[in-house]
Structure 1
Amino acid sequence: MAHQAPTPRQVTTGPGPATSPEDGPTVTATIAPPTECPRCGYESLQLLYSSPVAGAWEVHQCHRCLYCWRTCEPDRRTRRDAYPDSFKMTAEDIRDAPEVPTVPPLRQS
C-alpha cells in the first residue's frame, strides 16, 4: 500500500451547540493526524479504524514495527518525542529481533 499524506480532521470540544450562555462555548479545532510512529519513527502509517463518534479517536498502525495506537491515548503513547526511550526501537532493533513463535493450532477434543 502506498503511503498517503495524512489529512487533518475536525474535532469539536465543549458541551455541544450552545443554546444559552450557561452551556459554554463549542470549539472546533483541526488536529493533524500522526506523521511518524511513536515507537520507531517510521513515516509510513496506516489508518486502521475511526471512532463511530466522528473525531473521537482513530487507530493507526506503523508499517515497519506494527505498533498500533489510538489518537486519544496520552502523549507518551502517541508522540515520538514523549514516547519512553526504553521502549523506542530502531530499524536495526526490528531487523535483529527474535522471531515471534506462531500460535499452535487448537487441540481437537
Structure 2
Amino acid sequence: MKCPRCDSDKVRKMVDSPVGNAWEVYLCDKCYYSWRSTETPNIHDKFKLDDEKIAHMQVIPPVPPLDK
C-alpha cells in the first residue's frame, strides 16, 4: 500500500474499527497523513508532498505542561 499524499510505502495500520471489521485507519510514517480504509483519498496535486516539501514542513510545537 502506498500513501496517497506522498507515495511512500512506509504505511502502517494504526487501528481497526471497534465493532466488526467495518474499517481500518492507516498512517503514513513519512508525511503523517492518515485515512480510513472506507475513504477514497482525493489528494489534489497542490497538496501532494515530495521529499523537499516534507523536509521543509514546520514542526508542530509540543503542548506545554499545565500548571497546577
The TM-score with structure 2 as length reference comes to: 0.84
Which of 20, 27, 48 is residue 53 of structure 1 equivalent to? 20
Q: Supply the AA of the counterpart residue of 1:87.
A: F
1:37 alignment counterpart: 3
2:29 alignment counterpart: 63
Q: Name the Cα RMSD after superposition.
A: 1.3
Higher RCO (CA < 8 A, seq sep 6+): 2
Task: List alignment gaps of at least 5 residues for structure 1.
Answer: 1-34
Which of 33, 50, 57 is residue 90 of structure 1 equivalent to? 50
Residue identity (%)? 37
CA distance in 2, matches of 1:65, 1:85: 15
1:12 alignment counterpart: none
Which of the two has higher C-alpha Rg?
Answer: 1
CA deviation after TM superposition for structure 1 residue 106, in Å? 1.1
CA distance in 1, matches of 2:46, 2:66: 35
Q: Supply the AA of the counterpart residue of 1:101.
A: P
Aligned residues: 67
